Amino acid sequence: MKKILFVINDAPYGDERPYNAMRHAINLVKRDEVQVMVFLVADAVYCARKAQKTPDGYYNIERMVKSLAKRGKVAT
C-alpha cells in the first residue's frame, strides 16, 4: 500500500495550491492501494472552517475537506 501525505499551508482562497492539493487527495483516496493523509498547517487550517464564504470564481474548499473526510480516517 502506498502512503501519500499532503501538507497544505496556504489559505483556502487567493491561491490555487490548497484547491489542487485537495483535488489530488480526493482522487487518490478513491484507490484501494493508496492511503492518503492531509495535514493542514498555518493558514491552511481555515480550509476546514465551517460556513465559509466562497469568493466568486473559487471552489468551496470546505466541501472538498468534507468529501475527503467521508472517504478516509480523520485525525482529531
User: What pLDDT, in 10s, does the model give residues 42-68?
Assistant: 999 999 888 888 888 888 899 999 988
**Phi-psi category of residue 39: left, alpha or beta, with phi > 0 → left and psi -120 to 50 → alpha:** beta
The pLDDT-based confidence of 14 (bands split at 50, 70, 90) is confident
* Whether the predicted pLDDT of 76 surpasses 60: no
* 76, part of any domain: no
* pLDDT, average across residues 26-38: 91
Is the pLDDT assigned to residue 72 strictly greater than 80? no
Calculate Rg over the CA atoms of the chain. Answer: 12
pLDDT of residue 52: 84
CATH code at position 66: 3.40.1260.10
State the first-to-last Cα distance of the chain, in angstroms, to the nearest integer.
Answer: 23
Domain hosting residue 58, numbered range: 2-71
Which single residue is written with the C-alpha cell 466541501?
Answer: 63
